[in-house]
Structure 1
Amino acid sequence: MSDRPAGRSPFSLITLALDKFLIWVSIAVGAVLAINMIVAVFYRYVLSSPIFWADELSLYLFCWATFLGACLAVKRSDMAAVTFLLNRLPERGRIFGSMLIQLSILFFAVVMGYYSMIWIMSPSVMNLLSPALSMKMWKLYVIVPISMLCMAVFTIEHIVHLLQDLFIGKKGGAAQ
């Protein structure tokens, strides 16, 4: 007997855990961003003594929130889409169209992940310090390959579900 919920593959459990982790990291990043901005505004306009690193921290936290949000959007298939043509296709055509879209997302994530790793591991980025935070820039940029890896994992999950729908048929609706 297994502790897993019925019908859940080990891969689905991994993606579910990754999804929950990304949600909590996103919440933490959002909270730190909000606190940083509130404190920065208070110091700048009330105390007339701006915090010199607050703008840079806000910029990097916003970038992290954006990439984390993109991962979560891929997981939930919440990206903006024009489905005019896809909705007019028969069931198998919709599955093939969705498969093409997912393969395109996977291709994008793999290519971006690969080149972002090369970029981050280059000496020009590894040795670069951020101007105000004095942090190694690779630590700030590492969200790009991490988010691309997460997107690839979530896209593979969608592809597996589409293949199951195509070859096995729908069992109680499409899995998300």
Structure 2
Amino acid sequence: MANQAMSSRRMIAPAEALQSLSATLLAVERLAIMGFMFLLAGLILLNVVTRYSGRPIYWVDESAIYSVVWLTFIGASAMTRLRLDFAVSMLTERLSERGQKTAKVIATGMVVVFGLSLAAMCWLWMDPVGIARAGFDARAFAGETFNFLYTERTQTLNWPTWMLYLILPIFALSMTIHGLANLVEDLGLVPPAALKGFVLSDVDGVN
């Protein structure tokens, strides 16, 4: 009995740590979402005022576009933890209770697999080892690998594009963490955590 209790505790402790990490990440994402929403509203308002006054600011449009991109990916990550991603329930609602739980575990596992796959793709694409080996010389790296990621810049802001593309590995990592937190809950290793800062209601057709 004592050995079983110790084994059970060894499984629960990492699951609780994963839940805590996901909760912290979700709190940061909540602040980031609010920040980007205020930023986007401010940029749109600035664009309207400057255009109406006949003195448009040329970099506002591009800033708004990248704000929407970051807001979308951060929001999608948060929705993963909140289980607000869309689900088709035509098949699962006809399964037994055990079958529904199994299908839910499989669906959550696929989210984790997708996050890990996206993270691997970002690693190959951004090649941090390769750019470090080139002494962080973007031109030398591009000449050796024909990967021009670190030499490209945005059209109006003139920012390095790799800085803006960082949202992809961030999204992959955060979605994987949230997916694992959901998975340990679906497996019954820990009870579902109370997610603070979000007002949720029961909605049909979501996971």
TM-score of the two chains, using structure 1 as the length reference: 0.85
After the TM superposition, which residues 1-176 of structure 1 pair with which residues of structure 2 at under 5 Å, given as runs? 9-45=16-52, 47-121=53-127, 123-164=147-188, 174-175=192-193
Shift of 1:41: 1.1
- 1:119-165 C-alpha deviation (Å, 9 max, x unpaired): 23474111211110111101111001101111100111111111116
Instruction: Kindly provide the amino acid, as one letter, of the partner of residue 119 in structure 1.
Output: W
Q: Which moved more, 1:81-90 or 1:13-22?
A: 81-90
Instruction: Kindly provide the amino acid, as one letter, of the partner of residue 146 in structure 1.
Output: I
Residue 126 of structure 1 aligns to a residue in which SS? coil
Shift of 1:175: 4.9
- Aligned equivalents of 2:24, 2:91: Cα separation in 1: 34
Instruction: Kindly provide the amino acid, as one letter, of the partner of residue 75 in structure 2.
Output: G
- 1:3-43 C-alpha deviation (Å, 9 max, x unpaired): xxxxx922211111110000001111111111011001110
Instruction: Kindly provide the amino acid, as one letter, of the partner of residue 44 in structure 1.
Output: R
The CA RMSD over aligned residues, in Å, is: 1.9
Residue 63 of structure 1 aligns to a residue in which SS? helix
- Aligned equivalents of 1:93, 1:175: Cα separation in 2: 23
- Aligned equivalents of 1:88, 1:72: Cα separation in 2: 29
The answer (yes or no) to whether the contact 2:153–2:161 under 8 Å persists in 1 is yes
Residue 86 of structure 2 aligns to a residue in which SS? coil
TM-score of the two chains, using structure 2 as the length reference: 0.73
- Aligned equivalents of 1:69, 1:48: Cα separation in 2: 34
Runs of 4 or more off by more than 4 Å in structure 1? none
Residue 124 of structure 1 aligns to a residue in which SS? coil
Residue 52 of structure 1 aligns to a residue in which SS? coil
Structure 2 unaligned segments of length 5 or more: list them: 1-14, 128-141, 195-207
The answer (yes or no) to whether the contact 2:115–2:176 under 8 Å persists in 1 is yes
- Aligned equivalents of 1:56, 1:69: Cα separation in 2: 20
Structure 1 unaligned segments of length 5 or more: list them: 1-7
Larger RCO (CA within 8 A; separation ≥ 6): 2
The answer (yes or no) to whether the contact 1:120–1:141 under 8 Å persists in 2 is no
Higher radius of gyration, 1 or 2: 2
